[in-house]
Amino acid sequence: MTDAQTAARDSVGRDLSAAAGASALALPTPYLLFLGDVTEPGFAKTAFGLRDWAGDKCIGEYSSSPDAVTTGLPRLTPAEAAAKGARAMVIAVANSGGYIPPSWHPALIEAIEAGLDIIAGMHVRLTAVSGLAEAAGKHGRRLIDVRTPPADIPVGNGRKRSGKRLLTVGTDCALGKKYTALALADAFAARGVDSDFRATGQTGIMIAGGGIPMDAVVSDFEAGAAELLSPDAAPDHWDVIEGQGSLLHPAYAGVSLGLLHGSQPDVFVVCHEPGRSVVLGTAGYSVPTVEEIIELTTMLGRRTNPAIRCGGIAYNTAALSDDEAAQVMADDSKRLGLPVADPIRRGAAFDRLVANCLGDA
């Protein structure tokens, strides 16, 4: 990130906790990020998200395998991290199914014995890890699961709510929906627009200090949870809602649809990674086109907001050079007739995306 992007990130992190959504958290910081033995960067998105958007809360990283991905943060043992002031180790992985394999258990016990609390956003509860609750009790440490939805979520009712809403959607998982929502919320605020970032996944919740983990909500209550997350607001207020999954993902389309219907977005932004051809974690399925997602999101979104529109496309161009990224975004913007920008690179293309989302283009 550039210095300007880092400053914007830190500003977002400071401002979000007051408007985090339906549930608020007081998490012990700073963090040591645990990467387990994950080798696929897409499954370490929690680690990268915390590094990039809550970097002031991250002391270092720790893994159980020399082949694990790295965030570039200092490599520290739990004892070394505790000595430097860390208060908790975060399981900074978002693997398929949200499980905690036995190979990670010794590292979690080690962190407890070093004096760190454990924070996780997995589907599996920390208390289900053999021996972990006993170790936590013995050493006076906490086990904190953030992937826990609030109680008594209502069934969605489809009632039109006041205020304005933007939802990020994707052609696949783990390609920038959270980053795009955070960047847009920051850009809206920089323009003096009254807006809030609404977190819907474990990483966003850790960054913002609250939200609802949509993929942990019983399916009948998905839309209701989205309605709860983004309630009635002032007519000119924007909720920028973090998207989840993809409407055409073989495994995770359900959470995407419930979030779409309950969010009732006035505007959606499609997130895509140029060059990605296979759906993450599901071999044999190709990544759909941006055009397919625009068409499908518009058709399904009209069920609860007939005025829904696409504000543009956010590209993850991390694998491209500056010139390659600029060319592919310019070409696709011309082809699609919509702004295409990388929310991390920012620049004039991103300014056009922000303006079109706000209706100022």
Do 77 and 226 belong to one domain?
no
Which of 117, 145, 173 is where one domain is finished? Answer: 145
Mean pLDDT, to the nearest integer, of 222-249? 97
8 pLDDT tier (thresholds 50, 70, 90): very low
List the 164-170 sheet strands across, edge first. Answer: 195-198, 238-241, 164-170, 267-272, 309-315, 340-341
Per-residue pLDDT at 210:
87
pLDDT reported for residue 12? 41
Instruction: Write the DSSP string, 112-149.
Output: HHTT-EEEE--SS-GGGSTTHHHHHHHHT--EEE---P
Same domain assignment for residues 252 and 210: yes
pLDDT (mean) for 127-141: 95
Q: What is the CATH number of the domain that holds 250?
A: 3.40.50.300
Q: What percent of the chain has pLDDT over 70?
A: 93
**Model pLDDT, residue 19:** 44
DSSP-derived secondary structure letter, 60: E
Is pLDDT above 70 for 21?
A: no
H or E element: which one contains 208? helix 202-208
CA distance 261 to 158: 8
Q: Would residue 150 count as lying in a domain? A: no
Q: How far is CA 241 from CA 5, 20, 57, 89, 181, in A?
A: 20, 11, 23, 27, 6
Question: What is the predicted pLDDT for the residue at 22?
Answer: 55
What CA–CA distance (Å, rounded) separates 45 from 178? 10
Q: Is residue 2 part of a domain?
A: no
**Which tokens hold the place of 191?**
């323009």
121 and 214 together in one domain = no
Residue 118 lies in a domain: yes
Average pLDDT, the chain: 91
Same domain, residue pair 330 and 247: yes
118 and 181, same domain (yes or no): no
Q: Where are the beta strands (DSSP E) in the chain?
A: 31-34, 58-62, 88-91, 117-120, 143-145, 164-170, 195-198, 238-241, 267-272, 309-315, 340-341
CB 53 within 8 A of CB 94: no
Same domain? 95 vs 172: no
Whether residue 5 is predicted with pLDDT greater than 50 in this model: the reply is no
Total domains present in the chain = 2
For residue 332, tell me if it sits in a domain: yes
Same-domain pairing of 261 and 200: yes
* pLDDT above 70 for 257: yes
Q: pTM here?
A: 0.86
Same domain, 345 and 200: yes
Given 145, 175, 193, which residue is the final one in a domain?
145
Domain boundary among 145, 176, 191: 145
Residues 243 and 133 occupy one common structural domain: no
Place of tokens 């959504």: 21
Specify if 215 maps to a domain.
yes
Assess contact for 225 and 153: CB atoms under 8 A: yes
Residue 23 and residue 90 share a domain: yes
**What is the rounded distance in angstroms from the CA atom of residue 338 to the CA atom of residue 347?**
16
Q: According to the model, what pLDDT value does residue 20 have? A: 47
How far apart (Å, rounded) are the C-alpha atoms in residues 315 and 275?
11
152 inside domain: no
Identify the CATH number of the domain in which residue 59 sits: 3.40.50.720
Neighbouring-strand partners of residue 240:
166, 197
Largest CA distance in the chain: 62
Is a pLDDT exceeding 50 seen at residue 1? no
Confidence (pLDDT) at 2:
43
Identify the DSSP state of 278: B
> For the segment 152-183, what is each residue's pLDDT rounded down to a tens digit?
999 999 999 999 999 999 999 989 999 999 99
Residue 226 lies in a domain: yes
| Same domain as 171, residue 120 | no
Return the pLDDT at 232.
96
More confident residue, 184 or 67: 184
Task: Find the domain containing 59 and state its range.
Answer: 15-145
Question: Same domain, yes or no, for 204 and 335?
Answer: yes
pLDDT in tens, 289-329: 999 999 999 999 999 999 999 999 999 999 999 999 999 99
Give pLDDT tens digits for 59-107: 999 999 999 999 999 999 999 999 999 999 999 998 777 889 999 999 9
Whether residue 315 is contained in a domain is answered as: yes
**42 compared with 237, residue with greater pLDDT:** 237
